[in-house]
Structures are given as C-alpha cells and as structure tokens.
Amino acid sequence: MTALPKSVRELLRQSGFQVGMPRIAQAFVSTDGTERYLVTCPDGETVETVWMPNGDDGELGDGSDAAADEEVKEPGAPRRASETWVSRRATICVSSQVGCAVNCQFCLTAKLGMKRNLTAGEIAGQVAAVLNRHQVRVGRDRINLVFMGMGEPFLNYDNFMAAVHLLVECMGIPESRMTVSTSGILPGIERFAKEKLRPKLALSLNAPNDGIRENIMPITRKWKIEDLLAALREVPLRPRERMTFEYVLLGGVNDSLQNARELSALLRNSGLPAKVNLIVWNPGPDIPYRMPKPEDVAAFQQHLIASGVPAFLRRPRGRDIYAACGQLKRTME
Ligand code: SAH
Ligand code: SF4
C-alpha cells in the first residue's frame, strides 16, 4: 500500500491492521500437476491451499459445477497431457479454519482439532498468494475456487462470507465459479440461503441414512439429513444449477449397492435437482477405514446414473503429496 503516506501506514499498523500477503512457506508438487502449499499466517500458524490445473475436458459444460468432475474413470488413472496449466484453467482449494472441530471419523483434518478461525483476509489471501505464484490473469484465465480445504466454512461464517465479498468485489472472481462445501451446519445453510452473493453449495452427505451418517459424522446427532434437505430446499439455485452432494466412499461402510439404492431414493424424493460427487476415500495414518473396491465404486456410480441421479467420480488429485481430500494435515515435519 505504498500509495498511502508512511504516517498513515504506521497508524494502520498501530491500530492492529496487518498489511501484506500471506506467504507460501512450502510447496509440494505432485506428479499429476497438483501443488499443495503451506501458507503462513501472521501468527505463524500454517494452513494448506491446493492448486489443481484442469484438463481441457474438465468442465461439464452444463454450468453445474467446478472443473474437477469427471465421468467414470479409474481412480488414479494417468494424467492426460492436456492437464496442465498451459490450458490456463485451474481450481484452487481454499482453507477456512486452522484445523476443524467437526470430527468426521474419516478425515485427517479432524485429527488436528480446531485451532482457530481464519480471518477474511487470510482466506482471500490464500487465493491471492496462489494467483501471484502462477501469474494468473483474472478475467482471462479460468479459475474455480472450492472452499473444501481445512475447516468447516459454515462454522466461520462471517469471515468466510466476508472473504467471498473480497474475492468477488476486490479480486474479480465471479461467485458462480466458487463452490463451498459444508458438513451440514444447519444454521449456516439457513443464513446462506438468504445471501445475495452466493457461491454454489455442496453438502457432504456421505451416507444414505442417519444411522450410517452418525457413525462416520457424529454431527448428524445434532442435525438430521431430512432437516438438512429441508434447509437446502430454501437455497435459490441459478438456472441449470444443481445442488451438489459429496459422498466419500468408505469400503464396507457406505459403498454397497443397497446404499446406492437408498441414496438414489433419498435424493429423488428430496425435491432438489441433485447431483452426486463420489469421492474415493483417501487413506491416512490411524484412520480405521479401507478404500472401496474399484468394481464397487463403478457399480455405485452406475446405479445412481441408471436411476436418474447424475453422479460423477472425483479423481483423486495429488495423493502422492497428501493433497487429496481429507489429507490436508500439516506435514511440515
Ligand atoms: N468441512 C467441509 C469442507 C472441507 S472437507 C466439509 O466437510 O464439507 C471437503 C470434502 O472432503 C468433504 O466432502 C469431505 O467429506 C471430504 N473428505 C474428508 N476426508 C476425506 C478423505 N479422507 N478422503 C476423501 N474425502 C474426504
Ligand atoms: Fe471438518 Fe470437513 Fe474434515 Fe468433517 S470432513 S472434519 S467438516 S474438514
């Protein structure tokens, strides 16, 4: 802010404002082009931000979602040559908290516990730091943001929404290119439904009924699936937009054909234009689950599609550098 007189900058500093950019302290680069960053906050805490260049075929062209969706592909399929930043399309995965308080049993971030909320500046600053690193030309390059990094955005609601405003109004990234994922914080969804500036919304459903969901996501004890669906029905959708449901497939827990049938019925009866993003569970140390079998993943997806529920398989990105979903636990050591 060198346009301001030094005395004004000094006054700002004395008033407790911090002027500057978050710093990328470390970068891990995956063989698939994904990069994971440890971003340092002013108090020395680190959060993680992920950069995922997208292939040319990434967008579905239906305006419904971020570019990382893809129809049936083997998990871990080799990357295509188009999947580089040369295509000038990328998705940035942004953190909203240091750690997380929600305690989903399959998630590595949960193991950190909740350290603190990020400020709006720290949330938007992650994006600014990554845009600078890759010399992104906002407005010309195709950038999607997903608020799916560390933390639960709707438990840091005000700062999260303030960050969305900064990103849209000061940085020029349209909110229709942003997706926020929540584990299902009911009051957060209710507030979100009333927002004027509204990213797309994804609910981490992860189970076809409250019984299974409660075992893997204890927060279900507080808010039941039916109540979450009712709140989602109040969220206005853009033309052709669908409500996204994320579903992490855990081997032997929620990945059977019966589970797929129940999920399909649940969503078809929900009254929502729904789509499902299937995510093969990414293992982590001390997490007592196993990956689903590839044939079960395929059968699960096929059943959803055949019964009229659009279902996409999210490719794991950056598994070799612990950058895939749920693997964002700090690994400085
Ligand atoms: N807290 C928010 C956003 C961050 S988690 C939420 O839970 O929605 C982003 C996604 O990663 C969620 O859908 C979550 O279910 C999924 N996830 C968490 N741990 C995972 C793991 N080990 N493997 C695959 N997906 C995981
Ligand atoms: Fe938190 Fe999301 Fe991980 Fe659950 S899945 S512990 S809400 S980051």
CB 260 within 8 A of CB 221: no
Cα-flanking dihedrals φ and ψ of residue 155, to 5°? Answer: -95, 0
* Residue 168 falls inside a structural domain: yes
Q: Ligand 1, closest atom to CA 202?
A: 8
Pairing relationship of beta strands 200-204 and 243-249 according to DSSP bridges: parallel
Is residue 246 within 6 Å of ligand 2 at its C-beta? Answer: no
Q: What's the domain range around 39?
A: 20-321
Q: Structure tokens of 314?
A: 């999210």
Q: Ligand 2, closest atom to CA 108?
A: 3
**Sign of torsion, CA 83 48 297 235?**
negative
Contact residues for 114 (Cβ-Cβ < 8 A; gap 6+): 97, 98, 99, 100, 101
Number of domains making up the chain: 1
Is residue 281 within 6 Å of ligand 1 at its C-beta? Answer: yes
Cα gap 26→278, rounded to integer Å: 30
* Residue 74 falls inside a structural domain: yes
Contact residues for 5 (Cβ-Cβ < 8 A; gap 6+): none
Pairing relationship of beta strands 274-280 and 243-249 according to DSSP bridges: parallel
Query: Rounded to the nearest whole angstrom, what is the distance from the C-alpha of residue 106 to the centroid of ligand 1?
Result: 8
Cα gap 107→329, rounded to integer Å: 9
- Encoded amino acid at 302, one letter: Q
CA-nearest residue, atom 9 of ligand 1:
148
CB 166 within 8 A of CB 142: no
* Residue 88 falls inside a structural domain: yes
* Residue 315 falls inside a structural domain: yes
CB 59 within 8 A of CB 110: no
Is residue 179 within 6 Å of ligand 1 at its C-beta? Answer: no
| Tens of each residue's pLDDT in the chain, 333 residues | 788 899 998 999 899 887 777 899 999 998 888 999 999 987 888 899 999 998 543 333 333 344 333 333 444 445 454 457 877 899 999 999 999 999 999 998 998 899 999 999 999 999 999 999 999 999 999 999 999 999 999 999 999 999 999 999 999 999 999 999 999 999 999 999 999 999 999 999 999 999 999 999 999 999 999 999 999 999 999 999 999 999 999 999 999 999 999 999 999 999 999 999 999 998 888 899 999 999 999 999 999 999 999 999 988 888 787 777 667 665 543
- Encoded amino acid at 311, one letter: A
CA-nearest residue, atom 4 of ligand 1:
148
* Residue 202 falls inside a structural domain: yes
The CATH number given to whatever domain includes residue 232 is 3.20.20.70
pLDDT recorded at residue 7: 93
Give pTM, 2 decimals.
0.90
Cα gap 207→244, rounded to integer Å: 14
Pairing relationship of beta strands 89-93 and 97-99 according to DSSP bridges: unpaired
pLDDT recorded at residue 134: 95
Three-state SS letters, the chain: CCCCCHHHHHHHHHCCCCCCCCEEEEEEECCCCCEEEEEECCCCCEEEEEEEECCCCCCCCCCCCCCCCCCCCCCCCCCCCCCCHHHCEEEEECCCEEECCCCCCCCCHHHHCEEEECCHHHHHHHHHHHHHHCCCCECCEEEEEEECCCCCHHHCHHHHHHHHHHHHHHCCCCHHHEEEEECCCHHHHHHHCCCCCCCEEEEECCCCCHHHHHHHCHHHHCCCHHHHHHHHHCCCCCCCCCEEEEEEECCCCCCCHHHHHHHHHHHHCCCCCEEEEEEECCCCCCCCCCCCCHHHHHHHHHHHHHCCCCEEEECCCCHHHCCCCCCCCCCCC
Which residues are bridge partners to 92 per DSSP?
Answer: 51, 145
Cα-flanking dihedrals φ and ψ of residue 114, to 5°? Answer: -100, 120
* Residue 329 falls inside a structural domain: no
Cα gap 1→18, rounded to integer Å: 11
CA-nearest residue, atom 3 of ligand 2:
107
Query: Rounded to the nearest whole angstrom, what is the distance from the C-alpha of residue 139 to the centroid of ligand 2?
Result: 31
Which residues are bridge partners to 38 per DSSP?
Answer: 26, 48
